[in-house]
Structure 1
């Protein structure tokens, strides 16, 4: 596990720049650093030593040193790969996983990615052919940014590394900003800066003598298979979970687990405990507000399996941590659960270097309550698109003019929901700012720039690519393509690596995901129940209190925070001259939003989205970008 950075050019490389790019991500790898410099390439890395601690330094080379690689992540099948490569005549010097990359490239070229089982972002430089290969793991556990100009390309694990280059113009991309306000994150392939891109999950990039080609190499196949014996499927799922967990427990450094008390993290802890000779170290974060506190559930599992359990309570120190979080998140990011994620990572790092978590269980097995709502929506009769759009607009007007909780408001929301296509319904459920809200809050200039841009198109494209046979099955595929890599995995990667902690996710093993994707949707969500097959499979492992407890999620008391300890911060940051001077939003609408929230309406998600954007500006944007007029903040 580490952070990587580099640049390749048909002209001269820039070693000093790459050294600076690596210095700024030392938190990703405090145990060491390594560099490769030649006439056309400069590659660097920071190392967090987990496997092959003694001999696993990078960069790694093939036998004649014409192929070199830097690597971020873990390859869980590296022992089998090493044996196969040795049988094919390759000479490996160390004992770990990173060295496999250069020999796999020698053997298979770009098809090497199909042989990897793990989480990764890597760069392979082929000196002889002047070719750079960048690749990112199938699901998007590890990040990779890149930009190219003329005859050169730059890449890094974090955007702040690319910011070390004074040639980078920090022009905020208005389309990326538009998507952020919808999703609360900037989705790949965009980044917040124009000209800088994220390599999407399951994609590779080939740069050869100045030419860039990006292509997909993996996508989850949701085509359902026939299931004739559900008991056999339950047994197979237990086998897959145990194996996916076992291979993620390989570490030369101390290892533990996040334990929220939910089904997914509890399942992982159970699978670890059954395969560990020592008590598993578990870590939980909670809140003083009982509505958001699940520590009692985590203790049930900890007591059942005799774990070495540790807890942390999030209190009123938010003003201290928010600037630090804004610095680590190189782009605007408004999932408020990043706060407890940061704290539980900080707690864990005091005891271990590696943690396992339950990420991916909801997307793989149908765990979100919104899936129940989308499943019920299939009974709503279809409407012609024009009629449905009118029906939805009327419902929107009725809801907006009705009191919160009133029958007319609920009726309006139902009309709105009924008039929309499945992807629009789901996009609205997932949106921070809907198109209507954007039209109200955008300044005339920003609104004009984005008048023809539809953020919901990302959902539409993922929905159309899905091979699932039902609307709900396709919605699960949409989450795997959007919400999972864009929000959840970014949150865990940034908050864990900010604390020099490696996070591993058994539910995101691609073999387990492919098996789960082919399950009939009725084994995931049915009759108002979620995770049907998963709950049955792990019933021998977990008590009824965990399996039958309503899903709570990793939420925070955001609404009360923004009426209490964060109220002054929100008003000051969002209404001062600096924020107004950007020319992005109508000041009167922003102030009204704040006042309505204080008055009792819940606008916490929208306020938080605006607040995180402004905090990002102050942590990252270049000084000249603080004003919109006459400056390149929103160039097109």
Structure 2
């Protein structure tokens, strides 16, 4: 992962806001320890912390087009960027790097905001179009990569994490009390609201444009719906599912650094680990977090892969997790997976990673869905039986 942040002014940035931008950037160092960069002009400041995965030598950000009129900060991966690059080069675009970041810049030049329809991947990016004095924020279809924003007068601030916005010193950390009940009940927020008043998350599959002092957000993608596939046999559907899963895993193996795998022992991560082990030439490094007596840890050991693969496990130390959370180091809002904080030191030698989270929802869902239904039913019962 990488970290992005920025301050955009409708008129002109103040001198102190350049320093504030650096504070915002460096509080995201844990997201990108390999490199740091900033771009500042009269109205815009963009900042980036990089974790190098693709094009290690020339992937520095912020990155611009040839004329230095379009600037980008980007967190994520565009899995089909080589295919898009070939089309853009045929259309006359000239590349200076081999990074997927530059492909986004040229795709924006070619197709404007509609460039997002061409991308397959996980992404959160900000594009500053200097001649048009216009900022574009975009988030991938399923919201894998986080992106938050807020308005402060005639300024718009954005960042990969809320704490970077707070680090600017331009925004007060005030509780968004109406959202608190929802978070306590479900652990999540259902819309763009966050636990901090005035700070919003850009929803999955959405774009946000800031120009002329106005914010305009719109949805560019939604989950497609269609007729049930009852006319197809189970074997046919299973074969199609496997084909799509293999393609998804293969696309995510694009990396210039060693790959690792977060292995829980469940059907989702185990299936992905098995496919990865067959597709890569080097040993697959897997990691797990669990309590000692968890059956999932025993399954993870069993699913560790062929003898050439290596499996590591990390215990969960609540003291470490609690301390990290108390210092504002949790990478999610509010507190989704504190156990992962303990895993990070063990996995530092593997910059690239995969896990089976999306597959778990696709291949049968999770207990949270039924649990949420019960919670909502109880809440409705309490309302109906109230005074």
TM norm structure 1: 0.57
Shift of 1:431: 6.0
The alignment status of 1:44 with 2:47, answered yes or no, reads yes
CA distance in 2, matches of 1:69, 1:82: 17
- From the superposition, tell whether residues 299 and 243 of structure 1 become closer, same or farther in structure 2 (CA, over 3 Å): same
Structure with more of its chain in strand, by fraction? 2
The alignment status of 1:225 with 2:194, answered yes or no, reads no
Task: Give yes or no for contact 2:191–2:203 (8 Å, CA) kept in 1.
Answer: yes
Match of 1:282 in 2: 286
Shift of 1:296: 1.7
Shift of 1:61: 1.1
Task: After superposition, give the CA deviation of every residue in 1:113-139 in whole Å (9 maximum; x if it has no partner).
Answer: 101111110000111111110000100
Query: 2:71 is matched with which residue: 68, 71, 89?
Result: 68
Shift of 1:200: 0.5
Match of 1:202 in 2: 205
CA distance in 1, matches of 2:297, 2:332: 31
The alignment status of 1:117 with 2:115, answered yes or no, reads no
Match of 1:24 in 2: 27
Task: Give yes or no for contact 2:147–2:158 (8 Å, CA) kept in 1.
Answer: yes
Q: Which runs of 5+ in 2 are unaligned?
A: none
RMSD: 2.5
Aligned partner of residue 102 in structure 1, secondary structure: helix
Query: 1:79 is matched with which residue: 66, 79, 82?
Result: 82
Pick which of 28-37 and 8-17 moved more. Answer: 8-17
CA distance in 2, matches of 1:128, 1:241: 42
- From the superposition, tell whether residues 303 and 191 of structure 1 become closer, same or farther in structure 2 (CA, over 3 Å): closer
Task: Give yes or no for contact 1:188–1:199 (8 Å, CA) kept in 2.
Answer: no
Match of 2:351 in 1: 353
The alignment status of 1:254 with 2:258, answered yes or no, reads yes
Structure with more of its chain in helix, by fraction? 1
- From the superposition, tell whether residues 202 and 64 of structure 1 become closer, same or farther in structure 2 (CA, over 3 Å): same
Give 1:354-393 correspondences, 5 Å limit: 354-368=352-366
Greater relative contact order: 1 or 2 (C-alpha under 8 angstroms, separation 6 or more)?
A: 1
Shift of 1:53: 0.3
Aligned partner of residue 141 in structure 2, secondary structure: coil
Query: 2:130 is matched with which residue: 105, 120, 127?
Result: 127
Give 1:554-569 correspondences, 5 Å limit: none
Question: How many residues get paired?
Answer: 382
Aligned partner of residue 167 in structure 2, secondary structure: coil
Which one has a bigger Cα radius of gyration? 1
Shift of 1:49: 0.6
Aligned partner of residue 204 in structure 1, secondary structure: strand
Match of 1:343 in 2: 342
- From the superposition, tell whether residues 186 and 86 of structure 1 become closer, same or farther in structure 2 (CA, over 3 Å): same
- From the superposition, tell whether residues 241 and 178 of structure 1 become closer, same or farther in structure 2 (CA, over 3 Å): same
Shift of 1:435: 6.3
Task: After superposition, give the CA deviation of every residue in 1:552-578 in whole Å (9 maximum; x if it has no partner).
Answer: xxxxxxxxxxxxxxxxxxxxxxxxxxx
Task: Give yes or no for contact 2:195–2:334 (8 Å, CA) kept in 1.
Answer: no
CA distance in 1, matches of 2:333, 2:310: 36
Task: Give yes or no for contact 1:8–1:152 (8 Å, CA) kept in 2.
Answer: yes
Pick which of 57-66 and 18-27 moved more. Answer: 57-66
CA distance in 1, matches of 2:28, 2:153: 26
Query: 2:297 is matched with which residue: 295, 298, 305?
Result: 295
Match of 2:12 in 1: 12
Shift of 1:428: 4.2
Task: After superposition, give the CA deviation of every residue in 1:366-388 in whole Å (9 maximum; x if it has no partner).
Answer: 233577xx6xxxxxxxxxxxxxx
Shift of 1:284: 1.7
Shift of 1:319: 2.3
Match of 1:2 in 2: 2
The alignment status of 1:148 with 2:151, answered yes or no, reads yes
Give 1:486-565 correspondences, 5 Å limit: none
- From the superposition, tell whether residues 174 and 276 of structure 1 become closer, same or farther in structure 2 (CA, over 3 Å): same
Task: Give yes or no for contact 1:259–1:357 (8 Å, CA) kept in 2.
Answer: yes
Shift of 1:427: 3.8
- From the superposition, tell whether residues 86 and 151 of structure 1 become closer, same or farther in structure 2 (CA, over 3 Å): same
Q: Which runs of 5+ in 1 are unaligned?
A: 375-425, 440-450, 452-636
CA distance in 1, matches of 2:91, 2:194: 41
Match of 2:97 in 1: 94
Shift of 1:248: 0.9
CA distance in 1, matches of 2:126, 2:372: 35
Match of 1:309 in 2: 311
